[in-house]
Structure 1
Amino acid sequence: MQKIAFLGLGHMGAPMARRLLAAGYPLTVWNRTPQRAGPLVAEGAVPAGSPAQAVRDADVVLTMLAGPDALAAVAEDVVPQLRPGVVWVEMSTVGPDAVRELAGRLKDGTVLVDAPVTGSTDRAAAGTLGILAGGDTTGVEQILARLGSVTRTGPSGSGAALKLVLNTALIGGVGIVAESLRLADALGVDGETAREALAAGPLGGAVGRAFADGVLFANDLAAKDLRIATGVTRLPVTEALLDHFGPIADDPAPARADLARAVTLIREGHR
C-alpha cells in the first residue's frame, strides 16, 4: 500500500488520519504540537519530528493545516525532500492563490491535488466528508474514498476556490441567523418562537448549523476564510460579517469555539 505522510492533526486532521491508519496504510504523522500525535502513534502511526522527516519516504502527502501561512511554512520544509512521483493532496481551506503558490514551488513530476473538505469533525470520524478535488486524483482515489465522497471540480485550484465559496455562504448564513435573533430580542419576540420560524423558512439549513452540537468549525478559522474571500473581490456583505467574526476571532476564549458560540455573542452585541 502507498506510504502516506499526514501533516496537521487538529480537530479535522486527527480523525482523518485515524481512518487511513485503520485501513492499513503505512502512516507517518506530524503536527506542530507534537502531543497531538500521541494517540495515533499509540495506534501504530510513525511520528516525525518535522514535516521534512515525515515526507522523506512518502508516496502520498496529505496536509490539513490552519491556513495559507501554515501551508507556506510546511512547504518550505517539505518541498526539497519530496521524491519523484509523489502526490501531494492539499486538504486545508487556504484559497486558490495559496494552491497556485504551492504548485509553483513543486518539482517536476510531483502531482498536486487540492481537495478541501465539507463537513465537520463528526463526518471526518465517520469517513463521510465531501471532498472537493481539483486536479488529477488518479493516484489517490482509494485513499480519498476512505475519507468521504469525491466531487471533481476541475483543474488544480478549483477545489480550493469552491470551498471558499461554500464557507463564505455558510458563515454568512449563520451570521444572518444570529442578527435575526438579535432583532427578535430587540422587538420582544420570544427567542424560541423566532428560531422555529426561521428554521421553517429559507434559512432553515443555516439555523440548523447555527445551533449544531458536537461539531467544530472554529470562529478564528471562519474569520480567516472571510478574510481570504474579501481579498479576492469586493464583497460588502462578507466584509460586514467580519465586523462580527473578526473581534470574536481575536478573543482567545471564543476564537477556538464553534460557530454556534458566535451566534450567542452576536446576539448579545459582542464587540
Structure 2
Amino acid sequence: MEQIAFLGLGHMGAPMARRLLAAGHPLTVWNRTAAKAEPLVAEGAVLAASPADAVRDADVVVTMLADPAALDAVADEIVPALRPGARWIEMSTVGPDAVRELAARLGAGATLVDAPVMGSTDRAATGELGILAGGDTAGVEHVLARLGTVTRTGSLGTAAALKLVINASVIGAVALVAETLRLADALGVDGDTARAALANGPIGGAVARTFADGVHFATALAMKDLVLATKTTELPALEAVLADYRRAADDPALAQADISRAAARIRNP
C-alpha cells in the first residue's frame, strides 16, 4: 500500500490519521507539538522530526492544518522534499486562494487535491466525514474513501471555496440561535420552551449544533473561517457574527473551546 505522510494531528487530524493507519497504510506523521503523535506512534505510525522528513518517501501527503499561515509554513519545508509524482491531499479549511497559491508552488512535480471536510471529531473517528474534493482525485479516491463520502466539486480550489460557504452558514446560524435565545430570555420566555420551538422550526439543525456534545470546532478556527469569508466580499451579517464570536473569545479558554461554548457566552454576555 502507498506510503502516506500525515501532517497535522489536532482534534480532526489525529482520528483521520488513525483511520488510515488502521486500514494498513504505512504512515509517517508529523505535528508541531510532537507529543500529540504519541498515541499514533504506539499504534504503529512513524514520527518524523520535521515536515520534510515526513514526506521524503511518501506517495501521498495529507495536510490537516489550522489556517493558511500554518499551511504556508509547512509548504516551505515540504515542497522541496516531495517525491516526483507525489499526490498531496490538502484537507485544511484555508480558502481557495491558499489552495491555488500552493498549486502554483508545486508546479507539475506533484498533484494537488483540495479536499476539506464536513463533520466534527465524532465523524472523523468513524470515517463518516463529508469530503469535498476539487481537482484531479485519480489515484487518491481509495484514500479519501477511508475517511468519508466524497463529493466532487470541480476544478482545484472549488472544494475550498464551498467549504468556506458551508462553514460561514453554520457558524452564523449558531450565533443566530444564541441571540434569539437571548431575546427569549429578555422577553421572559422559558428557555427550554424557546429552544424546543426553535428546534422544530426552519433552523432546527443549527439549534442541534448550538447544543452539541462530544464534538469540537474551536471558536478560534471558526473566527478564522469568518475572516476568510468577510475578506472575499461584503458580508455585513457575517461581520456582525464575527464580532459576536470575538467578544466571546476574549476569554482564552473559550477561544479554544467548541463553538457551542461561545454560543452560550453570546447568549449570556
Give the counterpart letter for 1:101 in structure 2: E
- In structure 1, the partner of 2:67 is 67
- In structure 2, the partner of 1:154 is 154
SS of equivalent to 1:231: helix
Deviation of 1:8 (Å): 0.1
**Partners of 2:219 and 2:262 within 8 A in 1:** yes
For 2:249 and 2:150, locate their aligned partners in 1 and report how far apart those are by CA, in whole Å.
31
**Partners of 1:5 and 1:60 within 8 A in 2:** yes
Give the counterpart letter for 2:177 in structure 1: V
Name segments (4+ residues, structure 1) moved above 3 Å.
Answer: none
- State the Cα deviation string for residues 66-92 of structure 1 (Å, max 9, x = none): 010000000000000011100000000
RMSD over aligned Cα atoms: 0.7
- In structure 2, the partner of 1:179 is 179
Give the counterpart letter for 2:116 in structure 1: P
- State the Cα deviation string for residues 203-226 of structure 1 (Å, max 9, x = none): 100000000000001100000000
Tell me how many residue pairs correspond in the alignment: 269
- State the Cα deviation string for residues 116-141 of structure 1 (Å, max 9, x = none): 00000000000000000000111101
- In structure 1, the partner of 2:201 is 201
- In structure 1, the partner of 2:117 is 117
For 1:185 and 1:129, locate their aligned partners in 2 and report how far apart those are by CA, in whole Å.
36
- In structure 2, the partner of 1:28 is 28
For 1:82 and 1:89, locate their aligned partners in 2 and report how far apart those are by CA, in whole Å.
13
**Partners of 1:6 and 1:30 within 8 A in 2:** yes
For 1:200 and 1:268, locate their aligned partners in 2 and report how far apart those are by CA, in whole Å.
23
For 1:245 and 1:78, locate their aligned partners in 2 and report how far apart those are by CA, in whole Å.
34
For 1:68 and 1:252, locate their aligned partners in 2 and report how far apart those are by CA, in whole Å.
21
For 1:217 and 1:109, locate their aligned partners in 2 and report how far apart those are by CA, in whole Å.
34
| Unaligned runs of at least 5 residues, structure 2 | none
- In structure 1, the partner of 2:251 is 251
TM-score (norm 1): 0.98
**Partners of 1:132 and 1:152 within 8 A in 2:** yes
Deviation of 1:251 (Å): 2.7
For 1:247 and 1:147, locate their aligned partners in 2 and report how far apart those are by CA, in whole Å.
35
- In structure 1, the partner of 2:91 is 91
For 2:73 and 2:259, locate their aligned partners in 1 and report how far apart those are by CA, in whole Å.
27
1:242 is the counterpart of 2:242: yes
Deviation of 1:107 (Å): 3.5
1:135 is the counterpart of 2:135: yes
For 2:44 and 2:154, locate their aligned partners in 1 and report how far apart those are by CA, in whole Å.
35
SS of equivalent to 2:232: coil
For 2:255 and 2:70, locate their aligned partners in 1 and report how far apart those are by CA, in whole Å.
17
For 2:108 and 2:198, locate their aligned partners in 1 and report how far apart those are by CA, in whole Å.
52
Give the counterpart letter for 2:62 in structure 1: L
SS of equivalent to 2:6: strand
SS of equivalent to 2:29: strand
**Partners of 1:223 and 1:249 within 8 A in 2:** no
For 1:242 and 1:125, locate their aligned partners in 2 and report how far apart those are by CA, in whole Å.
29
Mean Cα deviation higher: 251-260 or 22-31: 251-260
For 1:113 and 1:249, locate their aligned partners in 2 and report how far apart those are by CA, in whole Å.
33
SS of equivalent to 2:72: helix
Q: How high is the sequence identity, in percent, across the aligned residues? A: 71
SS of equivalent to 2:93: coil
Deviation of 1:249 (Å): 3.2
| Unaligned runs of at least 5 residues, structure 1 | none
SS of equivalent to 1:5: strand
For 1:251 and 1:57, locate their aligned partners in 2 and report how far apart those are by CA, in whole Å.
42
Give the counterpart letter for 1:169 in structure 2: S
Deviation of 1:250 (Å): 4.3
For 2:63 and 2:107, locate their aligned partners in 1 and report how far apart those are by CA, in whole Å.
17
- In structure 2, the partner of 1:189 is 189
